[in-house]
Amino acid sequence: MQLSRSILAHEELDQVQLSKSFHMRDFLASDIAEFYGLPNIPENPDIAIRAAARLCQDLLEPLQERYGKLSIRAAYRSRLVHGFREKFHEAHPTEYCCAAEAAQAETLIWDQNGESGAMEAGICIALPQASDRFAPGADWRSLAWWIHDNLEYSSQVYFEAGDTFFLSWSENPARVIESRMEPVGILTRPGMANHGIDHSGWYAGGKLRRLN
């Protein structure tokens, strides 16, 4: 597929089916791009499509199947929109920004391989229908451990603002979970004692629980 410059090519890109539930058009909307009149169009559509398909098939479809329809808060960014967003965040650091850190935000540019040369795709989502799955006292860690044990993710980041979290897929997955809400910090990463053990007690019987 050629660079999506014309309206016809853009419509063709929109219609690409990535998985059972998702098309490319689901991820190309950007409030900043729309407000400031910036094109949020991949320079390398074929790479963007391949990365998006893996994100959808490996992460979003199984998440949605288990926890209900997900809500997309931030997805693909063109390099132009990404650069504009980073400058905006520098000028307004108190504004909420999903995946504000450079290492995470770079994965929103799906049509550009990461620093390691690996294809990757990140997204910020919420699971509004999952609230009834949380047992009293349960927190974000129960969901994080289910994703860790069941899905081929690269990174998870949980934010203090609302129910939104960042999730990414990569050809070279980091397998790191961190949080900006309590308990703040790294929950797990390769080399930590809790990385390869069974965490099913946190989500046994389909209910998200709190163990400590």
Asked if the model's pLDDT at residue 180 lies above 70, the reply is: yes
Residue pair 106/155 in contact (Cβ under 8 Å)? The answer is no
Q: Which pair of structure tokens corresponds to residue 29?
A: 């909307």
What residues does each domain of the chain span? Answer: 22-206
One-letter amino acid for residue 139 of the chain? D
* Alpha-carbon span 74 to 41, nearest angstrom: 15
* Alpha-carbon span 190 to 178, nearest angstrom: 13
Q: What is the pLDDT of residue 167?
A: 97
Asked if the model's pLDDT at residue 130 lies above 60, the reply is: yes
The DSSP bridge partners found for residue 122 are: 168
Q: What is the pLDDT of residue 101?
A: 59
Which range, 63-67, 106-110, 156-160, 181-185, has the best average confidence (pLDDT)? 63-67
pLDDT in tens, 1-15: 445 555 446 678 989
198 backbone dihedrals φ, ψ, rounded to 5°: -80, 130
pLDDT in tens, 89-117: 666 655 555 655 556 778 999 999 877 78
pTM, rounded to two decimals: 0.88
The H or E element that residue 146 is part of is helix 140-150
154 pLDDT band, cuts 50/70/90, is very high
∠ Cα 12 168 75 (to 5°): 40
* Alpha-carbon span 112 to 94, nearest angstrom: 28
Identify the CA nearest to 81 among candidates 110, 50, 54: 110
Residue pair 4/33 in contact (Cβ under 8 Å)? The answer is no
> The dihedral of CA 189, 191, 197, 202: what is its sign?
negative
Q: What is the pLDDT of residue 96?
A: 52
pLDDT in tens, 14-51: 899 999 999 999 999 988 888 888 889 999 999 999 99
Q: Which pair of structure tokens corresponds to residue 107?
A: 């994965």
Kindly give, in sequence order, each residue whose CB lies less than 8 Å from that of residue 185, ignoring residues fewer than 6 positions away: 178, 179
